Structure 1
Amino acid sequence: MNHAEWKTRRHRRLLDDAAGENTEYDRLYEEAELAHDLGQMVYDRRTALGLSQTELAERCGMKQPQISRIEGGGTVPTIPLLRRLARALDAELTIGLTPRVDAA
């Protein structure tokens, strides 16, 4: 694919996204937002406890780069890993499902 063709495809995709026709983009954006929010919660709790990333990693049997990726929103941990993180952060892990209220 040459540059002009790529640019045309990209432009079409951006137009589709702007029109709300690309639900894949919306889904990925929502997942990224959730990963970012989780990372921010881990960062906030870790800093409130005065822990470095390395210290938190040691507490939950991980390596510092893994903590960095979680805090940066670059990865979403599994539920068992979330449990270990919560324990290492002296916090409770609460997972819930709340019915969605769609605007009419």
Structure 2
Amino acid sequence: MNHSTWKTRRARQLAGEAVEYDQEYVAARLAGDLGQAVYSRRIELGLFQTELAERAGMTQPQVSRLEGGDTVPTLSLLRRLAKALEGTLDLTIDEGGSHITFTPRAA
């Protein structure tokens, strides 16, 4: 995307018009949203990255990359993360964006 295309998209967005984004942007946004949800839940539980990694069968650098939005996990890893973070992973994806939350399990 060149600068003039960006300015056009930005102007359209500010004017309240619908703006289409590249698939790479959408994927990066989803990875970032997931990383933020994992980070927030980990902090709520008072866990270090190494502790989460051990619980989820990962390494600390893998947790760091995930929280930074640098990687998109597999479905099996999402299942392990939900268990490790003691909750249910709620993921909603539609054409308007994505919403990701961890809901704590009832005690």
TM-score if structure 1 supplies the norm length? 0.70
- Is 1:62 aligned to residue 58 of structure 2? yes
Residue 4 of structure 1: aligned partner: none
SS at match of 1:85: helix
Offset from partner CA, 1:51-104 (integer Å, 9 cap, x none): 00000000011100000000000001011100100100001123456586xxxx
Residue identity opposite 2:32 in structure 1: H
Residue identity opposite 2:55 in structure 1: R
Give, in angstroms, the shift of residue 19 of structure 1.
Answer: 3.7
- Is 1:35 aligned to residue 24 of structure 2? no
Please identify which structure carries the higher strand content. Answer: 2
Structure 1 pair 99–76 and aligned structure 2 pair: CA distance change class (3 A): closer
Q: Point out where structure 1 has 5 or more consecutive residues left out of the alignment.
A: 1-11
> Given the alignment, which residue of 72, 81, 88 partners 1:85?
81
Residue 13 of structure 2: aligned partner: none
Structure 1 pair 28–44 and aligned structure 2 pair: CA distance change class (3 A): same
Residue 9 of structure 1: aligned partner: none
Give, in angstroms, the shift of residue 14 of structure 1.
Answer: 2.8
Give, in angstroms, the shift of residue 13 of structure 1.
Answer: 2.6
Q: CA separation in 2, counterparts of 1:75 and 1:89?
A: 18
Structure 1 pair 58–35 and aligned structure 2 pair: CA distance change class (3 A): same
Residue 8 of structure 1: aligned partner: none
Residue identity opposite 1:56 in structure 2: L
- Number of aligned positions between the proteins: 86
Residue identity opposite 1:75 in structure 2: T
CA radius of gyration, larger in: 1
